[in-house]
């Protein structure tokens, strides 16, 4: 495989240090949230870039922060880095005087023996394989630029080549605002991503000035210095614009979200998942599917979700942090969220439509949970049923229990939560209130409308409600007519 090949080469080559520029303001997002913390596929943009750094087996990633630095630095914990073998360093750039000035801030942390890969925190979809190629082109001694042809290159730095020829030696990068009309005609642009030997980078950054239209220190000016020093500059040109697309506005964020989701939908289908419409699924986390899973339109998956063999998910379900057993059917409009605790649905279970499973819901084999039933921190053993309009919270529900429509566990006394235990084969009628802590003995029956405050014996009929009376010939009050 191409990727593995280049990976081996990199492992054999000099160590890689990744520098991620993330100090910019992101004005066009019109948001209080720092740009790199906006989410793509449910995770901050920066987390995607850090994943790429991880895939490169980088020795370290240095994130240059500025605007919203405190928030960005605090948030890194949530990017699941704790378990990752990547050293993460943050460096502040204050004020922000340009991309060259940004990378200058990282220099004290960069050893001379490495290759530095420069990335941006707002460019989330670069593939590691592409960067392996770039690192290979750098080969520890050249300046390697990732470039791209753009029909409309407005705003980008242009790749100026010797004699203007498509394959002429790269001479310089000229920023759009500094470009002559002739240079603006160039359609090959600099993506913002480069691989450069650390030692040379240090030398060149020391020579930067800000004598340009924007009064900024341009990282891109190092190309001129490389040329002057006789260091070869190589361009690795790619076709896939998505890989270098940055997020500057909500529109661009939404576009990249779609691109990201399309890739995930394809991967799922390649694994055999049947998607009713690959354009109408959102995976914001890790969705793992066995064979013969089918997913109807408009479903959202978050966190870690595991779908077993032959699982069927109806339209408009939101499922987060859950394990769904083989053959289970989740009917439309069901909301499942295990949060940090998880939800488990047993083999062959049927859930929904319009059901809600909350953290700690554990359903056994062939359990049925119907419409407008909410389950939280409760275990339903094999074959138990709660088919309509019910709440089961903090409960152990035995095998084959039938929990009637409108019945609830009153698990909260205003201060503490208490458990309800319903033993096997209990039949709870409609509209019952089970005031916890309480235990219903095996095989018992609870009459409809009962408020149960004491334990009930096994196999008994327990009824706790006002006795029915009838008053004969009852005259209903009459409406008083006003004149």
By CB under 6 A, residue 175 contacts ligand UD1: yes
User: Under the criterion CB under 6 A, does residue 24 sit at the interface with ligand UD1?
Assistant: yes
CB of 158 to ligand UD1, least distance (A): 8
Site for ligand UD1 contains 99 (CB under 6 A):
yes
Separation between Cα atoms, residue 397 and residue 408, nearest integer Å: 12
Considering only the stretches 120-128, 133-141, 337-345, 395-403, report the one whose residues sit in contact with ligand UD1 under the rule CB under 6 A.
Answer: 120-128
Q: How far is the CB of 188 from ligand UD1 (least distance, A)?
A: 10
Residue/partner pairs of 48-51 with CB below 8 Å, 24 or more apart: 48/124, 48/125, 49/20, 49/119, 49/120, 49/121, 49/123, 49/124, 49/126, 50/20, 50/76, 50/79, 50/81, 50/86, 50/88
Cβ closest to ligand UD1, residue 212 vs residue 371: 212
Q: Which helix or strand (DSSP H or E) is residue 420 part of? A: strand 420-422
Q: Residue 249 corresponds to which tokens in the numbers above?
A: 């506005």
Q: Rounded to a whole number, what is the distance in angstroms from the first to the last CA of the chain?
A: 93
Q: Which of 34, 68, 121, 348 binds ligand UD1 (CB under 6 A)?
A: 121
In whole angstroms, the minimum distance from the beta carbon of 254 to ligand UD1 comes to 18
Region 397-456 residues binding ligand UD1, contact defined as CB under 6 A: none
By CB under 6 A, which span of 119-127, 254-262, 333-341, 372-380 interacts with ligand UD1? 119-127
Q: Is 102 in the site for ligand UD1 (CB under 6 A)?
A: yes
Q: How far is the CB of 166 from ligand UD1 (least distance, A)?
A: 18
Q: Answer for the pair 325, 347: CB distance below 8 angstroms, yes or no.
A: yes
Give Cα separations from 113 to 15, 56, 141, 202 (angstroms): 7, 17, 11, 12
Does residue 173 interact with ligand UD1 by CB under 6 A?
A: yes
Q: Are 20 and 99 in contact (CB under 8 A)?
A: no
Are the CB atoms for 171 and 92 separated by under 8 Å?
no
With the C-alpha atoms ordered 378, 382, 384, 387, is the resulting torsion angle positive or negative?
A: positive
- Contacting ligand UD1 (CB under 6 A), which of 16, 47, 63, 64? 64
CA distance 379 to 363: 6
Q: Could you say which DSSP state residue 282 is in?
A: E
**CB 296 to ligand UD1: min, Å:** 39
- Looking at the Cβ atoms of 227 and 288, the one nearer to ligand UD1 is 227
Active site residue 388: yes
Catalytic position from the list 76, 291, 335, 388: 388
Give yes or no for residue 98 binding ligand UD1 (CB under 6 A).
yes
Interface with ligand UD1, residue 96, by CB under 6 A: yes
Residue with tokens 């001694």: 141
The residue from 10, 21, 131, 369 that contacts ligand UD1 (CB under 6 A) is 21
**Strand, helix or coil at 259?**
helix
User: Quick one: how far is CA 318 from the chain centroid?
Assistant: 14
120 near ligand UD1 (CB under 6 A): yes
Residue 190 binding ligand UD1, by CB under 6 A: yes
Check binding of 157 to ligand UD1 (CB under 6 A): yes
Q: Does 93 bind ligand UD1 (CB under 6 A)?
A: yes
List Cα–Cα distances, 245 to 28, 135, 140, in angstroms. Answer: 15, 20, 26
Closest distance of CB 136 from ligand UD1, Å: 22
* 325 binds ligand UD1, rule: CB under 6 A: no
Candidates 51, 122, 188, 425; binder of ligand UD1 (CB under 6 A) is: 122
Select the span of 17-25, 50-58, 269-277, 308-316 touching ligand UD1 (CB under 6 A): 17-25
Closest listed residue to residue 49, CA positions, set 117, 148, 108, 137: 117
**Closer CB to ligand UD1, residue 155 or residue 457?**
155
User: What sign does the CA torsion over 131, 137, 140, 145 have?
Assistant: negative
Cα(384)–Cα(428) distance, integer angstroms: 11
Minimum distance from CB of 15 to ligand UD1 (Å)? 23
Are 43 and 304 in contact, with CB atoms under 8 Å apart? Answer: no
From the list 131-139, 183-191, 256-264, 295-303, the region that binds ligand UD1 by CB under 6 A is 183-191
Span interacting with ligand UD1, options 20-28, 322-330, 358-366, 410-418, rule CB under 6 A: 20-28
Place of tokens 């700690």: 360
Q: Which of residues 197-256 bind ligand UD1 (CB under 6 A)?
A: 218-220, 246
Residues noted as catalytic: 388
List residues near ligand UD1 by CB under 6 A: 21-24, 64, 66, 93, 96-99, 101-102, 120-122, 156-157, 173, 175, 189-192, 218-220, 246
């Amino acid at each position: 495989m191409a990727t593995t090949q280049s990976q081996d080469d990199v492992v054999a080559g000099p160590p890689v240090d990744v520098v991620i520029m993330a100090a910019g303001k992101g004005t066009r997002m019109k948001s209080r949230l720092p740009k790199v913390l906006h989410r793509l596929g449910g995770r901050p943009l920066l987390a995607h870039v850090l994943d790429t750094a991880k895939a490169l087996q980088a020795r370290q990633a240095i994130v240059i922060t500025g605007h919203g630095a405190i928030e960005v630095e605090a948030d890194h914990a949530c990017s699941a880095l704790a378990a990752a073998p990547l050293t993460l360093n943050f460096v502040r750039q204050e004020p922000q005087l340009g991309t060259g000035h940004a990378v200058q801030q990282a220099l004290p942390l960069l050893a001379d023996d490495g290759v530095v890969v420069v990335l941006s925190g707002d460019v989330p979809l670069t593939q590691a394989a592409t960067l392996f190629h770039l690192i290979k082109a750098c080969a520890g001694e050249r300046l390697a630029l990732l470039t791209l042809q753009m029909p409309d290159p407005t705003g980008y730095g242009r790749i100026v080549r010797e004699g203007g020829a498509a394959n002429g030696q790269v001479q310089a990068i000229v920023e759009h605002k500094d470009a002559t009309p002739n240079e603006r005609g160039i359609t090959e642009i600099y993506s913002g991503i480069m691989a450069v030997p650390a030692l040379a980078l240090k030398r060149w950054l020391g020579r930067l000035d800000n004598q340009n239209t924007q009064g900024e220190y341009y990282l891109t000016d190092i190309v001129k210095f490389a040329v002057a020093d006789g260091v070869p500059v190589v361009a690795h040109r790619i076709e896939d614009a998505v890989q270098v697309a940055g997020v500057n506005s909500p529109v661009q964020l939404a576009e990249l979200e779609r691109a990201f989701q399309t890739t995930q939908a394809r991967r799922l289908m390649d694994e055999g998942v049947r998607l009713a419409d690959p354009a109408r699924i959102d995976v914001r986390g890790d969705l793992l599917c066995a064979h013969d899973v089918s997913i109807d339109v408009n479903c959202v998956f978050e966190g870690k979700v595991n779908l077993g063999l032959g699982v069927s998910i109806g339209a408009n379900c939101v499922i987060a942090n859950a394990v769904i057993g083989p053959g289970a059917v989740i009917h439309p409009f069901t909301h499942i969220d295990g949060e940090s605790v998880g939800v488990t649905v047993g083999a062959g279970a049927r859930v929904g439509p319009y059901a809600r499973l909350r953290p700690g819901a554990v359903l056994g084999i062939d359990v049925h949970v119907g419409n407008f039933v909410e389950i939280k921190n409760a275990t339903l053993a094999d074959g138990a049923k709660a088919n309509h309009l019910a709440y089961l919270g903090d409960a152990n529900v035995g095998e084959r229990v039938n929990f009637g429509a409108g019945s609830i566990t009153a698990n909260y006394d205003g201060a503490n939560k208490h458990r309800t235990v319903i033993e096997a084969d209990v039949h709870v009628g409609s509209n019952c209130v089970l005031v916890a802590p309480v235990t219903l003995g095996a095989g018992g029956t609870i009459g409809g409308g009962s408020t149960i405050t004491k334990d009930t014996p096994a196999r008994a009929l327990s009824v706790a409600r006002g006795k029915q009376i009838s008053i004969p010939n009852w005259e209903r009050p009459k409406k008083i007519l006003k004149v």
